[in-house]
Amino acid sequence: MKNINLNEYETEIMNSEKPVLLDFYADWCGPCRMVGPIMEKLSDEYGGDVIVAKVNVDNERMLAGKFDVMSIPMVALIKDGKIMQKVVGARPIGFYKKMVDQVI
């Protein structure tokens, strides 16, 4: 799983041929620490079909602004350069799997 910055987001995320699950987080955020291991599992499980990446909102404020992140954790599902879904708050792994399964 890769940390994405503003310089990479266009090529790595918006121009990706694969769907992208993008986790917006901060190190100090308790619920974000719950979502992190879930994203790791999804990255392992869907590795060939979906890109799972992270954005630290403290380090990448402009990138968080491009996605209108108002609260974290927030997970965005992107396909063909379009934001398909955004979810705020920690959810169980099954919730994220359903998001991904709808686009692959």
Domain range for 74 is 2-98
Q: Active site residue: 13, 32, 57, 78, which one?
A: 32
In a domain, 104, yes or no: no
Number of domains the chain contains = 1
The CA distance from 43 to 37, in Å, is 10
Q: What angle do CA 103, 93, 29 make, to 5 degrees?
A: 110
In a domain, 52, yes or no: yes
The CA distance from 86 to 22, in Å, is 9
Q: Where are the beta strands (DSSP E) in the chain?
A: 2-3, 20-25, 51-56, 74-79, 82-88
Whether 29 is catalytic: yes
In a domain, 7, yes or no: yes
Tens digits of per-residue pLDDT, 17-41? 999 999 999 999 999 999 999 999 9
Question: The whole model's pTM is what?
Answer: 0.94
The CATH number linked to 17 is 3.40.30.10
In a domain, 47, yes or no: yes
Q: Active site residue: 4, 22, 29, 57, which one?
A: 29
In a domain, 93, yes or no: yes
In a domain, 39, yes or no: yes
Predicted confidence band at 47 (pLDDT cuts at 50, 70, 90)? confident
Whether 55 is catalytic: no
